[in-house]
Structure 1
Amino acid sequence: MSASWGSQILRLTEVSKTYATGSLEVAALREVSFTVEAGEYLAIMGPSGSGKSTLMHILGCLDVPTSGVYELAGQDVTGLSEAELAEIRNARIGFVFQQFNLLPTLSAWRNVALPLCYSGTPAAERRERAVAALERVGLGDRIDHRPGELSGGQQQRVAIARALVTDPSLLLADEPTGNLDSASTEDVLRLLDELNDSGRTIALITHEADVAARARRTLRIRDGRLEDLVTSGVGA
């Protein structure tokens, strides 16, 4: 699979990750190579211990490979400093986690605005963009509610709005439905479908086949190696 950098969001070339504990070395990833095009919806599946979480951390610039190259929008991020990686995370990547990671004392819009605080965005613009992001995920009438006043599905939509507020190149979702009931799961997956339909690039980590089936392409990982690439789901 190849593409020009104009349409390619990320490229991994023979990426490996080894963790050392004393004299013991554990290979979490083994020469993983793939690309993701702009506008793709990719699911990454694998059992516990397969390496999918390590892969997610590298994609999100939360960790760096032991060897190989990771390029994000044409930039090799493999050798960047922690400060440079933090800047890339805040500007180019939106994160959605299983645990929501919302601050309980802050209103929905203030939670969503947090990434903009780190970039020095003026206060009035922060609120305007946060409210717009909440309206985008269907929570325009909940902007002043705190997380404890929202359902699990609504809290995850707040987390998605927070991920979108910086207009990132890539949306990374790590088991985003893991703490939700079936109705809330469907609501969140439908929202991800809509975001992808509007052009948002999404990489989703999951162990659930029915969740992965919503993506347009599935990457399976086992024992740190890619097993296959499957085109499936609603976008097939």
Structure 2
Amino acid sequence: MSALPPPVIEMAGARKTYRSGQIEFEALSGIDLSVTEGEYVAIVGPSGSGKSTLMNILGCLDVLTSGSYRLGGEDVERLSEVALARVRNRQIGFVFQQFHLLPSLSALRNVELPMVYGRVEKTERRERAAAALERVGLSDRLNNRPGELSGGQQQRVAVARALAGDPTMILADEPTGNLDSASTDDVLGLFDELHAAGRTIVLITHEHDVARRARRMVTVRDGLIVSDGATQEAAA
């Protein structure tokens, strides 16, 4: 009997409360979530459901008020700000709705940038950036700047940037929000390929059509998980 893949995400009793003067708002109300290595999970919910707060916690951009969160076996709540920054740089590959590409830099240089901050040696980071761009089908666009690329191609550069550091997971926040339908299919097809290759992907979206492309859908409402199960894509 084969062993189950290790969990990448382990979250138990996760609560997040925001305070403004005498007013308190509980954005997360006690969430338990586990994602194993190689899973492709979509977290879906309407505006105000808590999914953006959950994304910030998963991405180590915010911390819990109570409960626990372990990423790759490491207790995130115990990490210093310096250690959290290191986790964000090395363990999480971010893909955002806004591509966050620097317009003055080529695709290759944009992909290299996080590795510059991670102090990866120049030759290695250039090789890794070129390999990541080849992986997303842009080996012929290394020297193009973002303004010379379509929206779908810019998002592929952003995915390559996320991949180049060989992260524990890819965390994609509304990655198709600024794309037309053809580019959306293009990017979601790329996520399918990455999942098939064994990547762990967590996709945050408010669009159920996008969420159904994942293999598991977690629905959040009022700070709670209200459903969690395989998608039709997984059953196909």
**TM-score bucket (shorter structure):** over 0.9
CA distance in 2, matches of 1:121, 1:235: 37
**Superposition RMSD in Å:** 1.0
Q: TM-score, structure 2 length as denominator?
A: 0.97
Partner of 1:217: 216
Which residue does the alignment assign to 2:134?
Answer: 135
Q: Superposition pairs for residues 170-185 of structure 1, below 5 Å?
A: 170-185=169-184
Q: Which residue of 2 aligns with 1:188?
A: 187
Secondary structure class of the residue paired with 1:234 = helix
Residues 109-162 of structure 1 deviation map (CA, whole Å, 9 limit, x = unaligned) = 000011111121111111111000000000000000000000000000000000
1:79 matched to which residue of 2? Answer: 78
Unaligned runs of 5+ in 1: none
Identity across the alignment (%): 62
After TM superposition, what 4+ stretches of structure 1 lie above 4 angstroms from structure 2?
none
Partner of residue 39, structure 2: 40
**What whole-Å deviation, never above 9, does each CA across 1:3-33 have from its counterpart, x for those lacking one?**
86x6210100000000001110000001100
In the aligned structure 1, how far is the partner of 2:227 from the partner of 2:208? 15
Matches of 1:27 and 1:233, distance apart in 2: 32
Q: TM-score, normalised by structure 1?
A: 0.97
Give, as a single letter, the amino acid of the residue that structure 2 aligns with 1:222. Answer: R
Shift, 1:207, TM fit = 0.8
Residues 172-227 of structure 1: CA deviation (Å, up to 9, x unaligned): 00000000000000000000000000000000001111100011110000110110
- Local SS of the residue matching 1:161: helix
Q: What's the CA shift for 1:79? A: 2.4
Determine the structure 1 residue equivalent to 2:102: 103
Q: Who is 1:166 aligned against?
A: 165
CA contact (8 A) 1:212 1:233 kept: no
Distance, in Å, in 2 between the alignment partners of 1:98 and 1:154 is 13
Cα distance between partner residues in 2 of 1:92 and 1:120: 15
Partner of 1:199: 198
Partner of 2:29: 30
Q: Tell me, which stretches of 5 or more residues in structure 2 are unaligned?
A: none
